[in-house]
Amino acid sequence: MTVSVRFLGHSTFLLQSGDHRLLLDPFIGGNPQCPVTLAEALGWGVSAVLISHAHGDHWGNALDFGRAGIPVIGTAEIGGYAQRNGAGNAVGMNIGGTYRAEWGRVTLTPAWHSSSFPDGTYGGMPTGLLIEFGGKRLYFAGDTSLFSDMRLIGDRGLDLAFLPIGDHFTMGPDEAAECLELLRPRVAIPMHYGTFPVLTGDPDTFRRGGEQRGVEVRVLAPGETTEL
């Protein structure tokens, strides 16, 4: 099956395959790059919202979706926080665990970062998301630096890797390109850059690094869609 990937700015993506849609790190309201309103996004009928960690630019509007009955999936701390705040179908997991659903499955992987909610509540360990959806395997790295165990993630066989390149709070484009040697995806998409002045990572630098390593890098403008 085909999987479409729509970039909504920063680290927010909408995945669609058949009748199912997944929303990753739903930073919609307050995201200066996001081309859609929260009301539009709530009307998409997404099957699940997947959260890499609790920082406001990733947690975003998760509660708006959760309170509408859509599963919000993340760490045990994220799932518990969401349930306590009106998202009754939220799912709390931990690193290494896999959630299975009609649309596919997601496994939480490590990420080197930090995680707390906008109100200061601890959000558990930050994670990446290994997603099986529409017959494809996608790795959403969340906010992280390079780490050697990415090779083990790559051993699964990846159709797509989403990697942060903005620098300052995550790795920059050169380090992200080094990740491609470990992950060995067929396609890579950069994220977490340009949203705010401090996120100076250059996607063209990442693209060149991908080309040197035999990986196709697709740089999407907010609102653009690509297909796998």
pLDDT by 10s per residue, the chain, length 228: 899 999 999 999 999 999 999 999 999 999 999 999 999 999 999 999 999 999 999 999 999 999 999 999 999 999 999 999 999 999 999 999 999 999 999 999 999 999 999 999 999 999 999 999 999 999 999 999 999 999 999 999 999 999 999 999 999 999 999 999 999 999 999 999 999 999 999 999 999 999 999 999 999 999 999 999
Q: Which residues contact 144 (CB under 8 A, 6 or more apart)?
A: 111, 112, 113, 126, 128, 164, 170, 171
**Residue 179's closest CA among 112, 106, 82?**
112
Range of the domain at 98: 4-220
Q: Looking at residue 186, what is its pLDDT?
A: 98
Q: Looking at residue 215, what is its pLDDT?
A: 98
In Å, how far from its chain's centre is CA 148? 20
Question: What would you measure as the largest C-alpha separation in the chain, in angstroms?
Answer: 48
**How buried is 156 (Cβ within 10 angstroms: 0-12 exposed, 13-18 middle, 19+ buried)?**
middle
The token duo for 136 is 């494809």
- Any domain includes 226: no
- Any domain includes 225: no
Q: Which residues contact 155 (CB under 8 A, 6 or more apart)?
A: none
Q: Looking at residue 120, what is its pLDDT?
A: 97
Q: Looking at residue 152, what is its pLDDT?
A: 98
Q: Looking at residue 196, what is its pLDDT?
A: 97
What's at 163, amino acid-wise? L
CATH number for position 85:
3.60.15.10
- Any domain includes 114: yes
Q: Looking at residue 212, what is its pLDDT?
A: 97
- Any domain includes 111: yes
- Any domain includes 46: yes
Q: Which residues contact 105 (CB under 8 A, 6 or more apart)?
A: 98, 99, 131, 132
- Any domain includes 211: yes
Q: What DSSP element (H or E) covers 210?
A: helix 203-212
The token duo for 57 is 């630019």
Report the distance separating Cα 207 and Cα 225, nearest Å. Answer: 17
The number of domains in the chain is: 1
